[in-house]
A = this chain, B = another copy of it.
């Protein structure tokens, strides 16, 4: 555990590129001084920005690339234009080639997923990777997936997502047997999507490498009812964005309420320490970073519009995932459990 962790950074990704990626890298390095970075992007841009971040001196290699994937390119366009030569492509290749343990990009999500699948390939038995997000709860945090890699998922894919999420929970929360719930619209067994019910049936009849808790509803997620919430990408994306939007909305209400009278303003000054703690608790930058699960390697997607604090959180996440041996553990889980599932299926 004392070896250096090498992390590949797509410096050209995101709305702000090097101006967010490099200060973010400097922040994360303070927390994990054993990190080494490989920076992929325009060398002149990188050198200029590096000069402003002395903390990174001696901690980075630079790999110059000419092409940057634009934030609005379709995945197919990005593959055509960026294959072999873009900063995103090269950074992912570094993971495939064993030069880096994880790659972080704030670039175009569709392009990053398409290139990651192309370069790293999915794990055996996994047809579609998922994007997992960290969701703050009343208790601590949980993992929600898929938050948008795929639209729709059949029962088999939902079961794969459950395994993938459980492996990530083990890595992140150090629970040996994380609890997993399937997102549904009513906890009664009769309700909801057929594929969700089928997945629940199969999980109940088998012996998965996690604690399967059945169905959870939208309002259970933030209560921390389970460690891992599994759903297909359409509703998962809507759920996470709705939660973000609601938090923002309430923050606006709160600001308005606290400035509406002199007494309220005085009260807000006295309670400013409390408000600071609350703000931190609700800060979306601290849970920034979606993990692409189901690939032969660790890929972390940062929000495109985040700042250095947010990008540093995404790097931290990549660091934790790499340190915990996520991919290796997941491969073993899948091999074992898929075999067991097949036995269950053929015994029916």
Contacts and interface: CB of A to CB of B under 8 A. Distances in A.
Interface string A249-267: 1101110011011011011
Contacts of A220: 245
Given A246-B247, A249-B137, A234 B273 contact: no
Contacts of A253: 138, 278, 281-282
A190 to B, nearest CB: 6
A237 interface: yes
A63 to B, nearest CB: 30
B235 A74 contact: no
A246 B219 CA distance: 7
Q: Which 8 A-B pairs have the closest CB atoms?
A: A218-B241, A267-B271, A219-B245, A267-B270, A264-B274, A218-B242, A222-B249, A185-B237
Interface string A176-194: 0000000101101010110
Copies in the complex: 2
A266 B247 CA distance: 25
8 contacts: A148-B186, A185-B234, A185-B237, A218-B240, A219-B244, A223-B245, A223-B248, A246-B250
A221 B250 contact: no
Contact of A238 (B152, B183, B266): B183
Contacts of A267: 266-272, 274
Interface of A: 72, 74, 137-138, 148, 151-152, 183, 185-186, 188, 190, 192-193, 217-223, 231, 233-235, 237-250, 252-254, 257-258, 260-261, 263-264, 266-275, 277-278, 281-282
Given A219-B248, A253-B278, A267-B270, 10 more contacts: A218-B237, A218-B241, A221-B245, A223-B248, A239-B242, A263-B273, A264-B274, A266-B267, A266-B271, A268-B271
A257 B275 contact: yes
A242 to B, nearest CB: 4
Contact of A218 (B186, B233, B239): B239
A219 B234 contact: no
B270 A263 contact: yes
Q: A186, A243, A269: which has the most chain B beta carbons within 10 Å? A: A243
A268 B238 CA distance: 34
A99 B116 CA distance: 64
Contacts of A269: 267
A204 B102 CA distance: 43
A260 B264 CA distance: 18
A217 B192 contact: no
A296 to B, nearest CB: 26
Contacts of A246: 222, 242-243, 246-247, 250
A247 B273 CA distance: 21
Q: A137, A185, A188: which has the most chain B beta carbons within 10 Å? A: A185
